[in-house]
Amino acid sequence: MYEVERAARDVDSDIRKAQRAEHSAPLLEEFKHWLDNQEFLPKSLIGKAATYTRNQWTALNRYFEDGDLSIDNNAAERSMKPVAIGRKNWLFVGSPKAGHRAAILMSLIASCKANHVEPWAYLKDALTQLAHRANVESLLPNHWLATHPQHRWNIAERRKQERETKANTP
């Protein structure tokens, strides 16, 4: 199923949905047929996994309904990594108010990344405009990019450039 996703990565969502229906849905149905014909001890690890899978079957198939949905939640898991890494460090952020401010900044940076907005350019501009702007919703990262397309952030391209720079540095 991940091979189907890789092959359909750069196509329109309607085409991706059709490819999933053609190639991935039969695989999942075959797995369901196999799962339904198995008998596991309910308290064993495999038995618990089978019960969980059966109970979540509708959710497991949800990504077939929309070509824009991801096959998994890896992006959400990756977005939580900075929180997990920093958890112990933030014990010493200074005060509860400072912790609240730090959480707001982290949320804005995460929103920038999710919306492909370069965080530094966004924060610099948005914080400058915040005091003078009546419509603060237009300063949210997903709206801000429409008026600042030059700050679209292609993280994959940025990492590639960093690797090339590092490789060319003596």
User: Do 78 and 52 lie in a common domain?
Assistant: no
User: Do 11 and 85 lie in a common domain?
Assistant: no
Q: What is the pLDDT of residues 71-87, one digit of tens each?
A: 998 988 888 888 788 87
User: Do 44 and 106 lie in a common domain?
Assistant: no
User: Do 153 and 78 lie in a common domain?
Assistant: yes
Mean pLDDT, the chain, whole residue set: 89
Task: Assign 155 a pLDDT band (cuts: 50, 70, 90).
Answer: confident
Residue 102 domain-assigned (yes or no): yes
Residue 162 domain-assigned (yes or no): yes
User: Do 21 and 43 lie in a common domain?
Assistant: yes
User: Do 39 and 100 lie in a common domain?
Assistant: no
User: Do 99 and 160 lie in a common domain?
Assistant: yes
What gap in Å lies between CA 69 and CA 111, rounded to an integer? 18
Q: What is the mean pLDDT of residues 92-102?
A: 84
Residue 69 domain-assigned (yes or no): no
**Interior CA angle at 46 toward 40 and 51, to 5°?**
75
Number of domains into which the chain is organized: 2
For 106, the 3-state DSSP assignment is: helix
**CA 30 and chain centroid, separation:** 28
What gap in Å lies between CA 64 and CA 88, rounded to an integer? 39
**Longest CA pairwise span in the chain (Å):** 66
Task: Assign 103 a pLDDT band (cuts: 50, 70, 90).
Answer: confident
Residue in 91, 107, 111 with CA at minimum distance from that of residue 99: 91
What gap in Å lies between CA 20 and CA 25, rounded to an integer? 6
User: Do 27 and 86 lie in a common domain?
Assistant: no
Q: Domain of 52?
A: 2-64
Whole-prediction pTM value?
0.60
User: Do 45 and 113 lie in a common domain?
Assistant: no
Residue 41 domain-assigned (yes or no): yes
Task: Write down the pLDDT at residue 85.
Answer: 82
Residue 109 domain-assigned (yes or no): yes
pLDDT exceeds 90 at position 92: no
Task: Assign 94 a pLDDT band (cuts: 50, 70, 90).
Answer: confident
Task: Write down the pLDDT at residue 131.
Answer: 84
Buried-state track 46-77, b at ≥16 Cβ within 10 A, e below 16: eeeebeeeeeeeeeeeebeeebeeeeeeeeee
